[in-house]
Amino acid sequence: MYNKNQIWREIISNGLEKGISCNEPMKKYTSWKIGGNADFFCTPSHQEQLAKLLLFALEHSLPIYIIGNGTNIWVSDEDIRGLVVRIAHTLDKVEYSDKMIKTGAGILLPALAKKAADRGLSGLEFAAHIPGTLGGAILNNASFGKESISDIVSEITLLHYRKGNIVTLKRGQFSFFYREIDLGYNEFVLLEASLLLSTMDKESISLKIKNFYEQRKTTQPVNFLTAGCIFKNAQEKPAGYLIDKAGAKGLMVGDAQVSTKHANFILNRGHATASDILRLIEKIEKMVEKTFGIKLEREIDFIGLPGYR
């Protein structure tokens, strides 16, 4: 394993220290407010800095973790060895061309939905209250109700950081699936995307946004610390139904609790640790498998957990 002090000296000697912090508390960047310290942490201010930093990490064998707004990740209580790169509130330039919006992957979905609505462009209403980034939404094929990000993505641009080249893929060169996308590439960062929207009067767009929010507020624990849905829906039944019927709704470990409103959400009641949440996830999995013989598939990403990247 690397020497942190030596790596920091190398970062300085390569002129990469701007915007990089050491021993950064990850609980500041996760919606659950959990996680230990990252050895090295950066929110790159521009694409060139991002490319140089990732190349440096590869050359020095630093594990790399790319996160968005931290809304669908679990981060270990232990320190995170390596480099965490946060693509949120950055790489967020927006360009318009008729019904097309081209924007950076770091823009937050509520901000993007508002910009679209202000121009009378419809298609992002479902995402107006999803607290993640556009990049995260595309990689996880975010959806609500019958609408999803896959309905509107026209083109995406990736940085293939091991090769150091930028690749633009048009629709037809990648495929969306339930909660995922197949790009045919590994070790990449999503830089930007083009979205093809439709025109609609602003009043109708506002009404759609309001209706989506009312549905979300009615069915999800929007006023608690969560990381969204924990598990993907099974083919047989929605994950929330299986968790509920297995008797896990309301179950607690420490300060982590299965939501009584929607059983596929886990709440941090205030002082839950990553360990509390993980133990609760494992209990849910065992209860559902014992009751239904179904192995739930985790939807959130795990950082610092052996076997997950």
Hey, what domains does the chain have and what are their CATH numbers? 4-86 (3.30.43.10), 94-219 (3.30.465.10), 239-303 (3.90.78.10)
Structure tokens at 298: 């985790």
pLDDT digits (tens, 9 = 90+) for 186-205: 889 999 999 999 999 999 99
Q: Give me the pLDDT at residue 1, please.
A: 78
The SS3 assignment for 281 reads helix
pLDDT digits (tens, 9 = 90+) for 39-95: 999 999 999 999 999 999 999 999 999 999 999 999 999 999 999 999 999 999 999
pLDDT digits (tens, 9 = 90+) for 123-132: 999 999 999 9
Q: Which of 215, 210, 244, 216 is nearest to 228 (CA)?
A: 216
Helix (H) or strand (E) holding 14: none
Q: Give this prediction's pTM.
A: 0.94
Alpha-carbon distance of 107 to 206, in angstroms, equals 20
pLDDT digits (tens, 9 = 90+) for 88-131: 999 999 999 999 999 999 999 999 999 999 999 999 999 999 99
> Helices 109-118 & 202-219, crossing angle to 10 degrees?
150
Q: Give me the pLDDT at residue 185, please.
A: 79
Q: Give me the pLDDT at residue 145, please.
A: 87
Mean pLDDT computed over every residue of the chain? 95
